Amino acid sequence: MTRLPIISAPVLDVESDDNLKVNVELLTDWLVAFLQDEITRRRGFKTAVVGVSGGVDSALVAILLARALGPENVFGIRMPYKTSSQDSLDHAVLVQQASGINLQTIVITDAADGYLQFCPDADGRRRGNVMARIRMTILFDQSQKLGTIPVGTGNKTERLFGYYTWHADDSPPVNPLGDLFKSQVWDIARYVGVPEVIVSKPASADLIVGQTDEGDFGISYPRADRILFYLLRGFTVPRLLEMGFPQEEIGIVKRRLDGTHWKRHLPTTAMLSSTSINDYYLRPVDY
Ordered structural domains, the chain, with CATH = 18-214 (3.40.50.620)
**pLDDT beneath 50, residues of the chain:** 286-287
What pLDDT was estimated at residue 283? 55
Quote the pTM value: 0.91
What pLDDT was estimated at residue 272? 82
Other Cβ atoms less than 10 A from the Cβ of 71: the count is 17
What does the alpha-carbon distance between residue 130 and residue 127 come to, in Å, rounded to a whole number?
5
Query: Residue 60 forms beta bridges with which residues?
Result: none
Other Cβ atoms less than 10 A from the Cβ of 51: the count is 26
Provide the sign of the torsion angle of the four alpha carbons 94, 95, 101, 102, taken in this order: negative
What pLDDT was estimated at residue 280? 67
Beta-carbon-side half-sphere exposure of residue 187 (alpha carbons within 13 Å): 17
pLDDT tens for residues 126-155?
Answer: 999 999 999 999 999 999 999 999 999 999
- Beta strand 48-51 with 149-150: parallel, antiparallel or unpaired? parallel
Q: Are 174 and 151 in contact (CB under 8 A)?
A: yes
Query: Residue 105 forms beta bridges with which residues?
Result: 78
